Amino acid sequence: MPSSRISALYGSWKSPITAARVASSSNAYFETKLTTDGTVFFIERRPGEQGRHVILRVKGDGQVEEVIPPGFNARTRVHEYGGASYLVTKDSVFFSNFGDLLVYKLDLSKSASPVPITSNSQTYYADFIFDERRRRLISVREDHAVSGEAVNTIASLDPNGKDGVTVLISGNDFYSSPRLSPDGSKLAWLTWNHPSLPFFGSELWVGDISNGGAIVNRRKVAGGIEESIAEPRWSPDGVLYFVSDRSNWWNIHRFDNNTVENVYPANFEFAGAHWVFGLSSYAFIPKSEILCSFVKDGFCRLAVLDVRSKLFREVANPFTEVSYVESNTHNVIMIAGSSSSPDAIVLFDPSNSKFTTIYPKTGGEKLDSSYLSLPTSIEYPTEGNKTAYALYYSPKNGDYEASDSSLPPLIVISHGGPTSRCRSDLNLGIQFWTSRGFAVADVNYGGSTGYGREYRIRLDGTWGVVDVDDCMNAAMFLARENKVDKTRLIIRGGSAGGYTTLSALAFRKAFMAGASYYGISDLEIFAKDTHKFESRYLDMLVGPFPEKRELYRERSAINYLDEISAPVIFFQGLEDMVVPPNQAEMMFDALRNKGLPTAYIAFEGEQHGFRQAKNIIRSYEAELYFYSRVFNFDLPEIIEPVKIENLPRSS
């Protein structure tokens, strides 16, 4: 029986998953909260509003309303990446406003405008909690008004903005996660110092709160330079729980009677890299149980852990990614999605194990499953007789089939971080490619999370080597398996993934094209010109600077332009403080002068990562156009051309 599908070359298939659809799917959700009366709060990021973060409220009747008015943006710049930007109390919402970086109070019981309770726009706040007994806010404070490096502390704020700020804890380089015990008598917090980051080494501390509100009798509970602590929180009965990787895996522990106990030892992870404040992978529910999300084999799963009996049972669910797990001890709210459905705000009822999607109600226009490629987890050999991991997506479009016996081009994605991981939920940014006839390998190279501490620290001193080898070997493995065309291998990535992309193009010969999104090309410049949170990151990934200056030069693609022979397109936000624009500009100028096909697209008003819909659309379409010219295939739709320097006329 003849096929009814259209015959066309891989890469030239027409897809309903347009760049505009990718941009509209970039409405991301963060920071769920569930009040005692069952009201749900969360943040929605809207690319159509220049990436504004809007606090939404879902009432018991299902009605959804915006909490903060237009013109306000609930986002903070503490640690540059922010997170945990707002707090809900009985009658108010407190939030950091990105426009002026002041903290505002909004009275929920009145139709009133937000009122600032801080006045210095050079002092940022995040990770708020409310101290009911003393009528004060406690938060992480980052002071940029000082000379030199910003100063981080844990401080208290008057909720009415009258009595100013009181520093409660200071002296270390970084703080996060201040958490108040249920009776208000103790405060727990995390801290770490340069050159560490919280996912390498951090400490959990506890202190008593004196009658005057000071933090006294401070003592370290767990952690150190070779132990990462995350997500401290108090159980309803006043026991301190946290996640530690002291067993190699991020497992749930508790501190009780001056003893630290691994509640459920397991060879999988109950946390991820805390690049932002406010992440949560577990929450307390009735019957002395915890609902927890964990990562195994590249996918998220859910389970209930009985903290008394230590029984652990997985909860059947349709999700492959779960985050921001919060509870009011009766019900649980979370952000959940699957490989075939986008993230949503989901309510879980522990009494009957029922999941209810409460936002968005419809999920938007449904995509036909014939256009969706589902990921499979692959393991493959890499350097040093080791194993690396990736999620593989084959080309899929129900309207098309390959017009000849050729194999599809492969796009290898090197994720950012680099201490992070690729997610398995529906990503239209990946489906944009697979539905056009590209295969995609989303690589969890050595250094990624989800595979234990030993795997996570593979990048110690080897960034630009291990990650590059693992990306290259993913492509080579798929080519040997006869799944992809070894003559049309592409690598793309953003931020640290952009660095891996450029390094792979400079130091390996596997890839025939690349796309760098705000990627690092010169490690020396990055080491000297970035924000405080990451300013010593490279001490661990490469080596101390300037002592290891020669190694920094050896690992910087900008110094090996003669080795790059593949076309590259660059995308850059002009307000990026993490990877300043000069990184992309230098690389583009150098490749242009060398005579290689190259293009550079810069976006005003964008920082580290693109948040505006128009720029997301332009970047995807420009990248597709770039590949079509480099690999000589026609596009089925009209796309705004990109100025490609040094492109041969035959292309």
Is there a domain that residue 398 lies in? Answer: yes
Distances (CA, A) of 546 to 461, 527, 539: 14, 9, 10
Q: What pLDDT, on the 0 to 100 scale, is given for residue 3?
A: 60
Is the sign of the CA dihedral 215, 220, 223, 224 positive or negative?
positive
Beta-bridge mates of residue 517: 494, 571
Q: What are 132-188's pLDDT values in tens digits?
A: 999 999 999 999 999 999 999 999 999 999 888 999 999 999 999 999 999 999 999
Give the list of residues 6+ apart from residue 101 with CB closer than 8 angstroms, or none: 76, 77, 121, 122, 123, 124
- pTM for the structure as a whole: 0.93
The Cβ-side half-sphere exposure at 215, using a 13 Å CA radius, reads 24
- Asked, for residue 307, whether it belongs to a domain, the answer is no
pLDDT digits (tens, 9 = 90+) for 394-409: 999 999 999 878 899 9
- Which of 367-371, 501-505, 594-598 has the weakest average pLDDT? 367-371
**What is the band of 651 on the pLDDT scale with cuts at 50, 70, 90?**
low
CATH code of 577's domain:
3.40.50.1820
From CA 468, how far away is CA 462, in angstroms rounded? Answer: 10
Asked if residue 255 is part of any domain, the answer here is no
Give the pLDDT confidence of 112-135 residue by residue, as tens digits: 899 999 999 999 999 999 999 999
Predicted local distance difference test score (pLDDT) of residue 27: 72
Backbone φ and ψ for 468, nearest 5 degrees, come out as -65, -45
Q: What is the pLDDT of residues 65-91, one digit of tens each?
A: 999 999 999 999 999 999 999 999 999
Tell me: the pLDDT tens digits for 418-451?
999 999 999 999 999 999 999 999 999 999 999 9
Amino acid at residue number 166: T
Confidence at residue 570, expressed as pLDDT on a 0 to 100 scale:
98
Chain-centre distance for alpha carbon 434: 22
**What CA–CA distance (Å, rounded) separates 333 from 128?**
19
The whole-number average pLDDT for the span 620-635 is 96
The pLDDT value recorded for residue 1 is: 38
Structure confidence at residue 2 (pLDDT): 46
Residue 494 has φ and ψ, to the nearest 5°, of -120, 145
Could you read off the pLDDT of 313-366 as tens digits, one per residue? 999 999 999 999 999 989 999 999 999 999 999 999 999 999 999 999 765 556
pLDDT of residue 609 exceeding 60, the answer is yes
| 488, part of any domain | yes
What DSSP character marks residue 593?
A: H
Question: Containing domain of residue 414, as a range?
Answer: 6-17+367-630
Looking at residue 365, its pLDDT comes to 55
Residue with tokens 């006043």: 238
Establish if 596 belongs to a structural domain.
yes
pLDDT score for 60: 77
378 within some domain? yes
DSSP collapsed to 3 states, 551-566: HHHHCCHHHCHHHCCC
Is the Cβ–Cβ distance between 121 and 167 less than 8 Å? no
**Per-residue confidence (pLDDT) for residue 362, from 0 to 100:** 62
Average pLDDT over residues 543-551: 96
What is the per-residue pLDDT for 650? Answer: 59
For residues 152 and 133, give the distance between their C-alpha atoms in angstroms, rounded to a whole number.
Answer: 25
CB neighbour list of residue 440: distance below 8 Å, 6 or more residues apart: 373, 392, 393, 410, 411, 412, 413, 430, 433, 434
List pLDDT tens digits, range 548-563: 999 999 999 999 988 9
Residue 579: band (very low, low, confident or very high) from pLDDT cuts 50, 70, 90: confident
pLDDT of residue 261: 97
pLDDT band, residue 62 (cuts 50/70/90):
confident
DSSP 366: P
Please count the CA atoms within 13 angstroms of the CA of 414 that sit on its side-chain side.
41
Query: Residue 198 falls within a domain, yes or no?
Result: no
On average, the pLDDT of the chain sits at 94
For the chain, the domain total comes to: 1
Q: Would 154 be classed as within a structural domain?
A: no
Residue 238 CA to residue 188 CA, distance in Å, equals: 12
Q: Which of 629, 616, 487, 481 is nearest to 567 (CA)?
A: 629
